[in-house]
Amino acid sequence: MATDDGSTKDRARAPDPTRRRRRRMTGKERREQLLDIGRALFAERGFEGTSVEEIAAKAGVSKPVVYEHFGGKEGLYAVVVDREMSRLLDMVTGALTGGHPRELLEQAAFALLDYIEQYTDGFRILVRDSPVAQSTGTFASLISDIATQVEDILGLEFKARGFDPKLAPLYAQALVGMVALTGQWWLNARRPNKSEVAAHLVNLAWHGLDGLEQKPRLIGHRRS
């Protein structure tokens, strides 16, 4: 039987359509890939526990590629943190759409809990290397930014109720700090559910505000 040796050779040389060459990433795509990998590692191990070598290995590139895009681990971390801070601040400020002051408290509490639920890695990064308890640091600065938004709302409410509006910044820091610290606890506990946590936070905050004394006094004998 005659065979078509030419056709056989041609088929052998022809490329297999099932095999595709890996497309080279654009600079923007590579940058986003490195940010995603860095974000996951920073959330899991913190800044100190993450190395450029590991970031590069997971991305399938050499260390110089990481340095080319971010100048090193510090630059990559700074971009990750900046993105998370912007995302959380946008979610909180965007949630404050108006209405009754108690509803505004609910909106702020839900916004933070929504962020923790949807962007868990981001929240872990913010609180891991910059705990809320620190007077300086990224998360402390972010909390102050959010408190400034709440401060304006409280100032109007204080003025309407005959309280000194100059005290609004103090109460804003207290309220936002309470929600933030509760959020840190809920990050791992996840019990009770988000709605219940928000309801209890607002319950404490609102009924505490509702019963405020204009000139509170300490009942113990302490020096100022």
The residue ranking higher by pLDDT, 101 or 106, is 106
| pLDDT digit string, tens, across residues 159-170 | 887 888 899 899
Residues spanned by the domain of 103: 81-211
Q: Is 47 within a domain?
A: no
Looking at per-residue pLDDT, the higher value among 21 and 73 belongs to: 73
Asked, for residue 221, whether it belongs to a domain, the answer is: no
Q: Cα(139)–Cα(133) distance, rounded to whole angstroms?
A: 9
Number of domains in the chain: 1
Residue 152 has pLDDT above 90, yes or no: no
In a domain, 13, yes or no: no
Q: Is residue 142 part of a domain?
A: yes
Please report whether residue 76 resides in a domain.
no
Query: Does position 22 have pLDDT exceeding 70, yes or no?
Result: no
The answer to whether residue 203 is domain-embedded is: yes
| Domain membership flag for residue 167 | yes
Residue 210 clears pLDDT 50, i.e. is over it: yes
In a domain, 71, yes or no: no
Residue 29 has pLDDT above 90, yes or no: yes
Helix (H, G, I), strand (E, B) or coil at 52: helix
Contacts 24+ apart (CB under 8 A), 61-70: 61/30, 65/30, 65/34, 66/34, 69/27, 69/30, 69/31, 69/34, 70/34
Would the pLDDT of 173 be above 70?
yes
Q: What is the mean pLDDT of residues 16-34?
A: 78
pTM for this one?
0.75
Lowest mean pLDDT among 26-30, 37-41, 210-214: 210-214
Report the CATH number at residue 167. Answer: 1.10.357.10
pLDDT over 90 percentage in the chain = 37
